[in-house]
Amino acid sequence: MRSYSLIAPAKINLYLEIIGDRPDGYHELAMVLQSINLADKIDIRAIGIETIIVKCDHPQVPPDAGNLAYRAASLLSKQFPDIFARYGGIEITIHKHIPVAAGLAGGSTNAAAVLVGLDLMWELGLTQRELQELGAQLGSDVPFCISGGTALATGRGEILSPLPNVEGLYVVLAKYKNLSVSTPWAYRTYRQEFGHTYVSESSGQESSRERVHSGPIVSAIAHHNNSEIGKLLHNDLEKIVLPEYPQILKLREAFASQNILGTMMSGSGPTVFALTESQAQAESVQAAVKATMADPELDFWIATFNPNGIAIAH
């Protein structure tokens, strides 16, 4: 086939713990990542000229190498130059539904869709692991976005262990339209403030384990204990982002005052989400927070957990 349409789901962080720093400048993390059914649609098409074209209906999404989807196509075209020449180029059209610069891996999931789509269109037959290794060159969240579902992510975020699917949870998400948080700033500031607590590389596995606290939420997921999952939500970056952005803190407090299982900022923000056990509860939480905040700059979404990552659109 000379064209593919793919569904690229967003992710939320149910858990994000910063363990230490790494020689490559990144941080050693323990995260629980969850795909949600708030998704972009990505169309890829072989075109006559040997070039990469990116089109998007969202003004904040660049059409060039500033776009991770472009970089994914460029990476594969360099990896497989003969096939790229044979197919003659790629047009990528991004239909944006995931908010941009939101802490929901919108750019990473677009790149993941391009890798999966080109593997199919060019009949490369790459394994998921090979696609994820390529994805890790583009960004720490790209490998997870390929496989999706529920996973424990360690290392930079690229070492993935699948976890059992979490069922029966609904997510209410809220984000200020024009607010964005710089991820490098958030990590850099965390290092400045909490670097003294980092686990050193030389400490043995046992002492590292004592300092990593992802065990209880992983166990709650394995036991399908949704109320416990809600209680165990955690994100170290909140310690940096919430004091600096009082609006996000206020939004989180508005969610926390509702009848919910738990609330948390996703990634480095600024999106805040809350978990509920029913669609009706999600709708009433959304209505209540909307009324409390009474701010036209706030956007809301309701989503469910998605059991997979990139999928072909039907």
Question: Which residues form the catalytic set?
Answer: 11, 141
- Residues near 102 by beta carbon (within 8 Å), at least 6 away in sequence: 175, 180, 266, 269, 270, 271
Q: H or E element: which one contains 73?
A: helix 68-79
Provide, rounded to whole angstroms, the least separation between the CB of residue 34 and ligand C5P. Answer: 17
State the Cα torsion 277-177-102-272 to the nearest 10°.
Answer: -30
Taking CB under 6 A as the binding criterion, the range among 48-56, 81-89, 139-147, 243-251 that sits at the site for ligand C5P is 139-147
How far CA 297 is from CA of 174, 178, 217, 275, 294, in Å, comes to 10, 8, 33, 22, 9
Among 18, 11, 35, 16, CA closest to 233: 16
Using CB under 6 A, which of 141, 151, 240, 263 touches ligand C5P? 141
Residue of 173, 274, 164, 281 whose CA lies nearest to 221: 164
Report yes or no: 69 and 75 within 8 Å, Cβ to Cβ.
Answer: no
Q: Is 183 in the site for ligand C5P (CB under 6 A)?
A: yes
Measured from the CB atom, is 230 or 267 closer to ligand C5P? 267
Based on the shown chain and the rule CB under 6 A, indicate whether residue 262 belongs to the binding site for ligand C5P: no
State in angstroms the smallest separation of the CB of 76 from ligand C5P: 18
| Under rule CB under 6 A, residue 269 binds ligand C5P | no
22: helix, coil or strand?
Answer: coil
CA 65 – CA 71 distance, rounded (Å): 6
User: Which is nearer to ligand C5P, 45 or 188 (by Cβ)?
Assistant: 188
Q: Which of 99, 135, 139, 267 binds ligand C5P (CB under 6 A)?
A: 139
In the complex, what is the shortest distance from the CB of residue 67 to ligand C5P, in angstroms, rounded to a whole number? 13
Of 134-142, 212-220, 238-246, 259-267, the window that binds ligand C5P (rule: CB under 6 A) is 134-142
Q: Specify whether the CB–CB gap between 314 and 186 falls below 8 A.
A: no
Q: Which stretch binds ligand C5P (CB under 6 A): 116-124, 182-190, 201-209, 217-225?
A: 182-190
- Contact flag: residue 198 with ligand C5P (CB under 6 A): no
Q: How many residues does the chain have?
A: 314
Q: Is 235 near ligand C5P (CB under 6 A)?
A: no
- Out of 23, 48, 125, 184, the residue judged to bind ligand C5P by CB under 6 A: 184
Is there a contact between 69 and 40 (Cβ–Cβ < 8 Å)?
Answer: no
Residue 255 interacting with ligand C5P (CB under 6 A): no
Q: How far is the CB of 136 from ligand C5P (least distance, A)?
A: 8
Q: Which residues bind ligand C5P (CB under 6 A)?
A: 26-27, 29, 139-141, 156-157, 183-184, 187
